[in-house]
Structure 1
Amino acid sequence: MEPTQGDESSTGTTVNDEALVDRLRLEATGQDTYTGFPARGFDQRVFGGHLLAQTLLAAAHTVDACRVANSLHAFFLRPGTPHAPIRYSVSPLRDGRSLSLRSITAEQDGRTLLRAHVSFSVTREDEDSLHAPPMPCVPVPSSLTPLHARTAANGHLPDGFNWRTRKDWWTSSRPLDVRYIDGTHLEDPALRCFWFRTAPTPRGDRNTQRAILSFASDRSLLPVIHHTRGELTGHGHRTVASVDHTMWFHSDVNAGDWLLYVQDSPYSTAGTGLARGLIYRADGVPAATVVQQGIVPGSRSRAQA
C-alpha cells in the first residue's frame, strides 16, 4: 500500500546517481530466495513500483531464459521502510510447455509487504498483434515542457502529480522524465496522458526491460480517478493508497525510449476507485495494459457540499 504525498526532490537536497537497473538488482540468498534493497539515500517509504519491479526480477530468475513475463498480479499489504533489505521468496506453481507461473512474497523485517503472481510465456520478440486500440494523437515529447520546468514556471505541478522531479531526474527517488499532456491537446477530456522515459540500460534481457516498465507503471496512476470525478481542480497533495496492481505485457520495450501513458477510470465509489492505463511505444504499438485499485477518498469540498 503506497500513499502518495510529498517528495524529497522538492527540496533538491537528496541525490542518487545509481542507475535504476542497479537500484533494482537482486542478490541470490537461498533456493528461490532473493534479497533486494530500497533506493539508497531516500527517507520515504518504498515506492510500490520498486516492489513490483523486484518481484518480477525475482520470479524471472527461476524460469528458463527463453520465457518472458506476460502478466503480473500483485497485492500491496503493508508499506516498506527505506532502511532494511527486502526478501523475495519465489514458489514455482506451474511449468508447462509454453507457460510458467510463479508465486512471490516480499517480506521486510518479518512483515509481509506484497504477495504476487507472475506468469511467463514463450513468445517471439515483437510478435504482431491481431488488433489493438490506436494511440491517441498527441504532441511529441520533445515539444512538451519537462515536469521540473513546469513547476518552475507555474509554481506547481500538473493536476495529480504530487511527486516532483528535477532537471537531473535520473537522480530522484522515482527516476522518470515525465512530459504531461494538457487536456486541451486531448480529443477525449476523460483521459489523462503523459510521456515518460527512464534512463537507458543495456538491451538484451527482455525481463529486465519489463521490470523497469513495471516500475514506471505505478507512477501517478490513481489520480486519474480524481480526474474522472472532476476533483482535480488545482495543485496540492492528495493522499491515496494502492491496494493491488495488475499488468499485462503486450510487446517489448527498451529503457530510454519514450512511452505514452494513457489513463482513465472506469469506476469509483466515495472511498475507492479503479484506475486503468494503456502504455504505448512511440511507434504506436501497445506495450502494456495496467489496472490498479486504490483507496481514494473524495475531495473535502465535495464531502462538505
Structure 2
Amino acid sequence: MPASADELLALLDLEDLDVNLFRGRQPETSLQRVFGGQVAAQALLAAARTTDPAYVVHSLHSYFLLPGDTAVPIIYDVERLRDGRSFGTRRVVARQHGRPIYYLTANFQKAEEGFEHQDVMPEVIPPEEGLDLGAMFRSRGGGSTEEWEREWAALDVRYVGNSRQGLPEDPAHPARARLWIRVNGEMGDDPLQHLAAFTYASDMTLLGSTLVPHGVNISSPGMQVASLDHTVWFHRSFRADEWWLYDQESPSASGGRGLAVARVFTQDGTLGATVAQEGLIRHRD
C-alpha cells in the first residue's frame, strides 16, 4: 500500500486504455483483498476523466460485489448516463478476471449559488492531542509496526475517542467514534486529487464504529468484516492533506451487518462531506 502522499497519488493515477476505459494499478501489499477505498477512489477518477471539468462530483453511491485480487490490475469501464445543463451522471463498473467486483454511480454538478446551512462541528480535542495510531502500532513493536508502515503510512490518523472511552456519554447514541485524519504529506492543488484521496481514506475506519458497543474490533478473533456499500456526499471543497474530523456514528447493527454514518469537518468547522457505509460484521465462534 502507499507509504506517502506521492505514492498514494501514483496509485490513483489511471492508465487510459480506450474511450471510457481505464486501468488502475495495484500496490505492493500483504492484504488478502484489494482495499475498498482504493477501488472507490480509482472508480471516481475514471468517472471524472469522462466528465467536463466544469462539473464537480457532489455524490457517489457504490456496491462492493466481490473481493478484489491484489495481484492483477483493475479495469474501469465508464458509462456516460447523462450530460445535462446542470448535472452529469456516470456509472462505472470495476472488473477483474472478466467479472464485476464493484459498481459506482457518481453525479456531477456545475457550480451554482443557493441556500446555505450546516451542522455545527462538535467540540473535540485538536489532532495534536489525539492518539497517533502509527505511534501506537510502533510502540507495540514486531509485526504491528511493519504492517502499519507497509499498509497505512500514507495516512496520518489521530484517535479522539469512542462511546466507551474518550467521548462524553450519550445513551441515545451508543456507537460513536471520532478521529482526525489527513494524507501524510503535501499534495498539489488539484481539487480532484483531494476528492480522490479523501475517498480512499474514507473507507478505512467506518466499520469500527459499528463494533464499539460490543467490546470487539475488526481484528478481534472470530470477526469477519467487509464493506458492502459506500456512499459519499461532497458538500464543500476541502484539502485531504489538511486535518479533517471523521465524526462517526452507527445508528444500527443487525443481521450480521452494521451501518455507519459520518460527518466530515475541517479544523475551522466547515462541513465538507457526509459518508455512509453498511458492512458485514459477522462473528464466528
**One-letter identity of the residue aligned with 1:201:** M
Match of 2:43 in 1: 55
**One-letter identity of the residue aligned with 2:156:** D
Match of 1:186 in 2: 167
Moved more, 135-144 or 51-60: 135-144
Give the 5 Å matches for 1:90-105: 90-105=78-93
> In 2, are the aligned partners of 1:71 and 1:120 still within 8 Å (CA)?
yes
Give the 5 Å matches for 1:1-305: 16=3, 19-42=7-30, 44-123=32-111, 130-153=116-139, 155=140, 172-173=151-152, 175-183=154-162, 184-189=165-170, 190=174, 191-198=176-183, 199-203=185-189, 205-227=190-212, 229-232=213-216, 236=220, 238-298=223-283
User: Distance in 1 between the 2:196 and 2:218 partners?
Assistant: 33
Distance 1:234 1:298, change over 3 A: closer
Distance 1:47 1:291, change over 3 A: same
Tell me the TM-score normalized by structure 1.
0.81
Distance 1:193 1:130, change over 3 A: same
> In 2, are the aligned partners of 1:147 and 1:164 still within 8 Å (CA)?
no
The alignment partner of 1:71 has SS state of strand
> In 1, are the aligned partners of 2:138 and 2:144 still within 8 Å (CA)?
no
Deviation per residue, 1:117-149 (Å, 9 max, x gap) = 00001126xx78722111111111112231122
User: Which structure's residues are more often strand, by fraction?
Assistant: 2
Distance 1:139 1:128, change over 3 A: farther
**One-letter identity of the residue aligned with 1:208:** Q
The alignment partner of 1:79 has SS state of coil
Distance 1:181 1:69, change over 3 A: same
Deviation per residue, 1:143-184 (Å, 9 max, x gap) = 22311222344x49xxxxxx9677985x53562111001245
Match of 1:11 in 2: none
**One-letter identity of the residue aligned with 1:75:** Y
Task: Among all aligned residue pairs of Structure 1 and Structure 2, give the percentage whose two residues are the same amino acid.
Answer: 35
What is the total number of aligned residue pairs between the two structures? 275
User: Distance in 1 between the 2:68 and 2:147 partners?
Assistant: 27
Deviation per residue, 1:45-67 (Å, 9 max, x gap) = 21000000001000001111111
Moved more, 212-221 or 128-137: 128-137
User: Distance in 1 between the 2:32 and 2:52 partners?
Assistant: 35
> In 1, are the aligned partners of 2:208 and 2:218 still within 8 Å (CA)?
no
Structure 2 spans left out of the alignment, 5+ residues: none
User: Distance in 2 between the 1:294 and 1:168 partners?
Assistant: 23
**One-letter identity of the residue aligned with 2:203:** D
> In 2, are the aligned partners of 1:272 and 1:295 still within 8 Å (CA)?
yes
> In 1, are the aligned partners of 2:47 and 2:90 still within 8 Å (CA)?
yes
Distance 1:129 1:167, change over 3 A: farther
User: Distance in 1 between the 2:121 and 2:146 partners?
Assistant: 28
The alignment partner of 1:212 has SS state of helix
Deviation, 1:231, is 3.0
Q: Alignment RMSD, CA only?
A: 2.7
Distance 1:187 1:167, change over 3 A: same
Deviation per residue, 1:14-40 (Å, 9 max, x gap) = 885552111111011001111111223
The alignment partner of 2:206 has SS state of coil
Distance 1:278 1:164, change over 3 A: farther
Deviation, 1:277, is 0.9
